[in-house]
């Protein structure tokens, strides 16, 4: 999908922000990536929140509570949506314009086929509010609407009540929105190796394995997953199943732990262990009121005919979840947020080591690389599965080499058989290295002013293939050298009286512009001495 334009008014620090999204016409190697750039506190994260909030509401046929205008394109056509005006008929909340095949229609809601398949947000900050915005607020909004409707009467009440209840259930049974942070990142890697998208289409499946291998090479050329395990609170699981009997989400979670399936088939797990839950307040050898935990273990197996390549998956889980890894991820994230999921582990070999290693042995950078790229790769379902990704500072935890390949890898993981890239990416970043892979049309420069609030402008220079230090200077008025080093260089240039004083610091200074400045001053002082 391709975002075209968004105007946001009166959302937190965004008083009146109008952003136009443009992608350069550079051929098939350019995809719909847009970078939000600015110093801390300039409104980038707030903008991502507002964008996510708008989409969660319009997917429900609702409004977010602040004025907005949103324009975007999907494969089927062009969409413009905004809140209904004061003169709109009672009950109408949205004004929707759809343009497709040369025809324009005006509607009250956006048809399903013109919405993104999913919204996926990924953040690493501890204070990030995306989870609340994307997950909690839709529940709260619908609950409020149901409460208001309960006190009303009229012929349309029952119809509207049924619609709201259907939307309410859909949040549980058919998730459209995912929010992954530093805590839930552990859930992604086990799913990445278990459920293969489009496993029935061997060409797409093998392409998936090849791309996954490329991701793993960043971590280890001999990374070999063996199995993953899920540990749940048995009592809480049973209670949740009883309370939400009609929830496919918790039904699938229960199915993962069944020792026998209703049709007599083998269980989905390889084996299961029950253990007492120990309370931290009690001695380590005492049970906590008889409560038990269940740990289900799922083994990975070779892809048929590719045993020597290390292409691993779990056939039963791929079939159970219809080749959609995001469905399994939704089950696990729901279990985590409800407190049922106590632990998840991924066991793997690395190199020639015989011992089994776990996720805790990965660095933060390695785990987040698998998480962020894995989310994109798992969303590579079909030619029409368009997803909007909202990344808040994905460069955190990555070294320069990984950031250098970040944009390229996004493109590789989202492409489907080389037919073009149909996901949209909005990325808030501080990395000038990421900017060097973007054309000026893809950059939106955020700044916060006391009088006018947040302002968004296009970049005054092209960042494409530019030098990082020049981008830091021109876009952020920042030096590429640390403040302490700059202070020493500037101070010496002001007070130095002999070339020997300058030469001493030159010998301590690395290559670059500051060393050039010192050499200039050194030669000036040599001239003055005659």
Q: Residue 9: name the closest of 49, 65, 59 by CA.
A: 65
314 occurs within a structural domain: yes
**Alpha helix segments (H runs only) across 7-133:** 44-58, 130-131
Q: In what order do the strands lie in the sheet with 103-107?
A: 14-20, 2-11, 68-74, 77-83, 94-100, 103-107
pLDDT of the residue at 497: 86
Instruction: Measure the CA–CA gap between 47 and 17, rounded to whole angstroms.
Output: 9
Residue for token digits 């293969």?
196
Same domain flag for 265 and 302: yes
Instruction: Measure the CA–CA gap between 210 and 461, rounded to whole angstroms.
Output: 37
CATH code of the domain containing 420: 3.40.50
Same domain flag for 60 and 102: yes
Domain count, the chain: 3
Range of the domain at 293: 184-368
pLDDT of the residue at 173: 52
Tell me the two tokens of residue 509. 């200074």
377 occurs within a structural domain: no
322 occurs within a structural domain: yes
Helix (H, G, I), strand (E, B) or coil at 263: coil
Same domain flag for 349 and 213: yes
Instruction: Measure the CA–CA gap between 390 and 124, rounded to whole angstroms.
Output: 12
Boundary of a domain, candidates 438, 453, 476: 476
* Ramachandran class of 90: left when φ > 0, alpha when ψ lies in -120 to 50, beta otherwise: beta
Same domain flag for 470 and 507: no
Per-residue pLDDT of the chain (530 residues; tens, 9 = 90+): 889 999 999 998 999 999 999 877 555 455 678 999 988 888 998 999 999 999 988 988 888 889 999 999 988 899 999 999 888 887 788 999 999 999 999 999 999 899 998 899 998 765 556 777 776 666 666 667 776 777 677 767 777 777 777 776 666 555 788 889 888 999 999 999 999 988 888 888 888 999 999 998 888 767 889 999 999 999 888 888 777 666 677 788 889 998 877 777 789 999 999 888 876 554 444 445 568 899 999 999 999 888 778 899 999 999 999 898 998 998 998 889 888 999 999 999 887 667 889 999 998 999 999 999 999 999 877 555 789 999 999 988 888 888 999 998 988 888 765 555 568 899 999 888 999 998 898 999 999 887 778 999 988 888 888 888 888 877 877 777 888 888 899 999 998 889 898 998 999 998 887 888 899 999 999 888 86
Cβ-contact 383, 422 below 8 angstroms = yes
Same domain flag for 191 and 292: yes
Same domain flag for 349 and 437: no
Instruction: Measure the CA–CA gap between 470 and 166, rounded to whole angstroms.
Output: 53
Instruction: Measure the CA–CA gap between 398 and 364, rounded to whole angstroms.
Output: 9
- Cα dist from 224 to 294, 299, 308, whole Å: 25, 12, 12
pLDDT of the residue at 419: 58
Same domain flag for 447 and 498: no
pTM: 0.85
Boundary of a domain, candidates 311, 340, 368: 368
242 occurs within a structural domain: yes
Which helix (H) or strand (E) covers residue 107, if one does? Answer: strand 103-107
Which helix (H) or strand (E) covers residue 241, if one does? Answer: helix 234-243
Burial class (CB in 10 A: 0-12, 13-18, 19+), 48: buried
149 occurs within a structural domain: no
518 occurs within a structural domain: yes
68 occurs within a structural domain: yes
Contacts for 508 with CB less than 8 Å, ≥ 6 apart: none
Boundary of a domain, candidates 476, 496, 519: 476
Tell me the two tokens of residue 267. 């269980």
Cβ-contact 54, 469 below 8 angstroms = no
Same domain flag for 492 and 471: no
Instruction: Measure the CA–CA gap between 490 and 137, rounded to whole angstroms.
Output: 52
Cβ-contact 365, 398 below 8 angstroms = yes
174 occurs within a structural domain: no
Same domain flag for 223 and 363: yes
Same domain flag for 361 and 330: yes
Same domain flag for 403 and 344: no
Tell me the two tokens of residue 142. 């619908």
Same domain flag for 263 and 201: yes
313 forms beta bridges with 301
Q: Residue 130: name the closest of 425, 391, 406, 456 by CA.
A: 391
């Amino acid at each position: 999908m391709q975002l075209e334009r968004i105007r946001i008014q009166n959302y937190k620090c965004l008083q009146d922000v109008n952003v136009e999204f443009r992608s350069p016409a550079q051929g098939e190697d350019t995809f719909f990536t847009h970078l939000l750039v600015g110093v801390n506190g300039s409104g980038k994260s707030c903008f991502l929140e507002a964008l996510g909030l708008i989409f969660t509401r319009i997917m429900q046929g609702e409004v977010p509570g602040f004025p907005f205008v949103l324009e975007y394109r999907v494969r089927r056509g062009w969409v413009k949506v905004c809140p209904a005006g004061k003169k709109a008929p009672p009950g109408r909340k949205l004004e929707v314009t759809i343009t497709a095949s040369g025809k324009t229609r005006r509607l009250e809601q956006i048809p399903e086929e013109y919405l993104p398949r999913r919204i996926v947000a990924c953040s690493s900050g501890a204070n990030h509010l995306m989870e609340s915005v994307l997950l909690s607020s839709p529940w709260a909004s619908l609950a409020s609407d149901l409460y208001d409707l309960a006190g009303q009467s009229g012929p349309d009440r029952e119809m509207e009540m049924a619609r709201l209840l259907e939307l309410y259930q859909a949040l549980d049974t058919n998730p459209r929105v995912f929010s992954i942070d530093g805590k839930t990142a552990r859930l992604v890697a086990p799913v990445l190796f278990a459920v293969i998208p489009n496993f029935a289409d061997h060409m797409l499946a093998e392409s998936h394995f090849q791309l996954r291998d490329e991701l793993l090479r960043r971590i280890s050329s001999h990374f070999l997953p063996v199995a993953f395990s899920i540990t749940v609170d048995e009592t809480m699981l049973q209670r949740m199943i009883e309370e939400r009997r009609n929830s496919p989400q918790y039904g699938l979670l229960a199915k993962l732990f069944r020792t026998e399936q209703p049709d007599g088939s083998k269980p989905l797990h390889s084996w299961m262990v029950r253990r007492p839950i120990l309370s931290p307040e009690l001695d380590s050898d005492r049970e906590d009121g008889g409560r038990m935990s269940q740990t289900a273990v799922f083994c990975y197996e070779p892809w048929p005919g590719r045993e020597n390549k290390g292409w691993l998956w779990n056939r039963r889980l791929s079939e159970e979840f219809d080749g959609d890894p995001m469905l399994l991820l939704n089950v696990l994230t729901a279990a985590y947020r409800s407190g049922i999921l106590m632990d998840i582990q991924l066991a793997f070999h690395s190199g020639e080591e015989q011992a089994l290693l776990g996720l805790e042995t990965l660095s933060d950078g390695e785990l987040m690389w698998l998480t962020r790229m894995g989310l994109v790769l798992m969303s590579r379902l079909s030619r029409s599965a368009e997803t909007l990704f909202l990344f808040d500072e994905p460069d955190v935890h990555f070294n320069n080499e990984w950031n250098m390949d970040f944009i390229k890898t996004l493109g590789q993981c989202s492409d489907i058989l080389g037919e073009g890239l149909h996901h949209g990416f909005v990325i808030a970043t501080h990395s000038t290295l990421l900017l060097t892979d973007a054309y000026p049309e893809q950059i939106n420069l955020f700044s916060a002013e006391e009088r006018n609030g947040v302002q968004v402008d296009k970049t005054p220079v092209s960042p494409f293939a530019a030098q990082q230090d020049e981008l830091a200077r021109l876009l952020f008025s920042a030096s590429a050298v640390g403040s302490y080093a700059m202070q020493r260089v500037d101070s010496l240039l002001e007070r130095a009286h002999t070339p020997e004083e300058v030469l001493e610091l030159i010998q301590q200074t690395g290559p670059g512009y500051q060393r050039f400045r010192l050499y200039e001053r050194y030669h000036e002082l040599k001239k003055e001495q005659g």
